[in-house]
Amino acid sequence: MSYKILAPFLCMFFLACCMSQTLAISSAEVGPAVFIRLRFKVHILNGFADNVKPLLVHCRSLDDDLGNHTLWKGNEFRFQFRLHWIKTTHFICNFEWASKKLDDITVFKDEDHAESGECVDTGNCFWKAAADGLYFSNNNQKWVKKFDWK
């Protein structure tokens, strides 16, 4: 056989080997759980005891403005998304209730919530506004206070 005939096949074999090695390295950096779960949901809940004032929420990312939402007692605003392949998924929300505010709260960031495993098990990140602050949960049962109102 002539080397001219084998050259394209050898080049393709070499390229395939390099690509598989790159994929193996990048998947080791990301971790197996994130590689399996690529879709997430963020839930914003109004957890106030009364219905006198609504919770006002405005969420956005670098690519998407999710708009303004008015949540009365017991209401929820949720959105879902897929992780960006270069690890830039980052959603920020502003919260307002009566005269209290929380601005630029990170409700999902790739390295905080996906890579750390905070939201990987369920694929959900829950945020609940209450009279004393903003709480986080990944299962809508066990809540951890993250922020006090300003």
User: What does the pLDDT average to over 110-126?
Assistant: 77
| pLDDT band at 10; cut points 50, 70, 90 | low
Sign for the CA dihedral angle at 100, 103, 107, 111 comes to: negative
Mean pLDDT of 99-110: 93
Bridge partners (DSSP) of residue 93 are 59, 105
Worst-scoring range by mean pLDDT, 35-39, 43-47, 132-136, 137-141? Answer: 35-39
For residue 3, the one-letter residue type is Y
Does this model's pTM top 0.85? My answer is no
Token pair in block for residue 47: 């957890």
Domain ranges in the chain are 1-30, 36-147
Domain at 36-147, CATH class: mainly beta
C-alpha to C-alpha distance for 126 and 139, rounded to whole angstroms: 7
